[in-house]
Amino acid sequence: MSKTTPATVALTKAGVAFELFPYDYDPDAPRVGLQAAEALGKAPEQVFKTLMTLADGKPACVIIPSDCEVSMKKLAAALGAKSAQMMKPAEAERLTGYKVGGVSPFGQRKRVPTVMDETAVLFEQVLINGGQRGLLLGLAPDDAARTAEAALFDLTA
């Protein structure tokens, strides 16, 4: 496993301190974020998953706790859209340059509007995908939001 990904490069370039959290990725896990939290012995609400969505047909990135589901209604409202839906995995991979299960909000090929669940600020450190399957990055929520250019909203169902 490489410790250098477009995500780690982007964070380093931005001068953001982060910690690497490698874990054994299980491609058969029903919910990858929960599997990652369990593998690392972290609270699921502290481990955030990165989802690629479409808001009124335009791409957007959503960062929410691994034990939650995104509310498409709240997401659409946060992005000033009428509707929102999940992006197809192949489209997410093409747009971000990452494989599904390893999508990071940092260092994506193309910058898209990004929103993060407001509960991130409850933690000193949140864990977010590091740009490959089996690698999470631990960083301060403020640094994560600033580097991802993410606005904070209540996004969960």
Beta bridge partners of 150: 114
Two structure tokens written together for 56: 């009124």
Calculate mean pLDDT across residues 81-91.
97
**Six-digit token pair at 16?**
């953001």
User: Could you tell me the pTM of the whole model?
Assistant: 0.94
Tell me the CATH number at 132. Answer: 3.90.960.10
What separation in angstroms does the CA of 65 have from each of 70, 84, 97, 143, 157? Answer: 9, 18, 22, 17, 11
Contacting residues for 46 by C-beta, under 8 A, at least 6 apart: 37, 65, 123, 125, 126, 127
Within a domain: 30: yes
- Residue 32: predicted pLDDT: 84
| pLDDT average, residue stretch 5-21 | 96
Total domains in the fold of the chain: 1
Tell me the C-alpha distance between 86 and 18, whole Å: 28
1 belongs to a structural domain: no
Structure tokens at 54: 């479409």
The answer to whether residue 109 scores a pLDDT higher than 90 is yes
